[in-house]
Amino acid sequence: MRRNKWVLNTTDTPLFFLLSQLIIAVVLFLFAHMAGLLQLPLQLDMQVCKGLIPMVGLNVIGLSFSNYTLKYVDASFYQVARGMVLPFTVGTSFFLLHARPSLRIFAACAVVTIGFFVGVFLDGTEVSVVGVTFGVLSSMITALHSVVIKKSLDVVHGSALHLSWYTNLLSACLLAPGLVLVGELPGVMKLLFGPNESAPGEMSTLSTFVMGSIITGVFGFLMSVASLMSIKVTSPITHMVSSAVRGVAASILGYYLFHDTITNGRASSIAIILLGSIWYTWIKHVESQPAASKAQYEPVALDEMEQGKSKSENGHVHRHSLGRGARD
């Protein structure tokens, strides 16, 4: 995010910047394939492509809104603007995955929501309405995206690497005409062929764009694979919590690198969001313990044990002779 903000401060083409990152990720995938580090399905399966349409569409929209959020708000406020990711993800999991949250989960989401409103309305400093709007929309899309990833893994037979490959490639193909439709083409031509507008002694706008694209493209490639594998082995909401913690670190970096203002209200907002996320993680840990135990070991009532009863895996009740009866 830090490098993204650096580039977005100097250019007016956030979608072209995103497209550059996606293309770099695709090139890195191809290099890794040629080097034998991983195997990719270079011959695209059209059935797989059709099955990944929801995933790719949400990915492009979510990343675009995220870049627009970062363009209109400070780096230190980015975490606040996207602070509703956890509540939206819980709600999405409830409606799409039928994962019914407990009252304590609702309470944790309420804490996160309070943190969001503290940062937006009680901070005392002027915030960009456009940036906050893009942040909320980005949070909603991210919540949907994290849930759809779980289902999209089935389309590629559970391979997180193949899913990341398809996602980056198809997202780049979809975004290319998209940036033309939203009117970024003149800005792209100005960036590539226009005069340098940077101050004397500073890096040129094009050089900043190219360097930022390469750095963020490489890290984006690594994080894309890591994120998909994280969701594969954990859950969509746990993945969102780790993203929230990473966002707090980014806010701190924004303060030191871009000299962003972190007021008491903004710091309180970030702290409340983080505490709500940590509380949610603790609740999920506690709630998962009895469920795991129950799934592995089916308890048998004490009076049934005294009568020599137990349950088999298919649920049938069997009687076992005990004590003297076993010797008869």
Check pLDDT > 90 for residue 281. no
User: CA geometry: angle at 182 spanning 178 and 54, to 5°?
Assistant: 40
Instruction: Give whichever of 203-207, 246-250, 313-317 has the largest mean pLDDT.
Output: 203-207
Q: Of 28-32, 196-200, 306-310, 314-318, which gets the smallest average pLDDT?
A: 306-310
Q: What was the pLDDT predicted at 78?
A: 76
SS3 (DSSP) at 309: strand
Count Cα neighbours of 87 within 13 Å in the Cβ-side half-sphere: 20
- What's the mean pLDDT when you consider all of the chain? 76
Q: Which residues contact residue 92 at a Cβ distance below 8 angstroms, ignoring those fewer than 6 apart?
A: 143, 144, 146, 147
Check pLDDT > 70 for residue 101. yes
Count of residues in the chain:
328
**Both structure tokens of 296:** 């592995």
Instruction: Say if residues 164 and 226 touch (Cβ distance below 8 Å).
Output: no
Rounded Cα gap, residues 167 and 148, in angstroms: 12
The residue that leads in pLDDT, 16 or 265, is: 16
* Closest by Cα among 303, 243, 322, 310 to 277: 243
Instruction: Give whichever of 8-12, 121-125, 266-270 has the largest mean pLDDT.
Output: 266-270
Q: What are phi and psi of 310, to 5 degrees?
A: -150, 165
Convert the pLDDT of each residue in 106-148 to its tens digit: 999 999 999 999 988 887 777 888 989 999 999 899 888 877 8
Q: Which residues contact residue 260 at a Cβ distance below 8 angstroms, ignoring those fewer than 6 apart?
A: 74, 75, 76, 77, 254
Q: Of 82-91, 269-278, 294-303, which gets the smallest average pLDDT?
A: 294-303
- Res. 315 pLDDT band, cuts 50 70 90: very low
Greatest extent of the chain over all pairs of C-alpha atoms, in Å = 100
Instruction: Say if residues 52 and 203 touch (Cβ distance below 8 Å).
Output: no
pTM of the model: 0.70
Rounded Cα gap, residues 77 and 83, in angstroms: 10
Q: What was the pLDDT predicted at 50?
A: 92
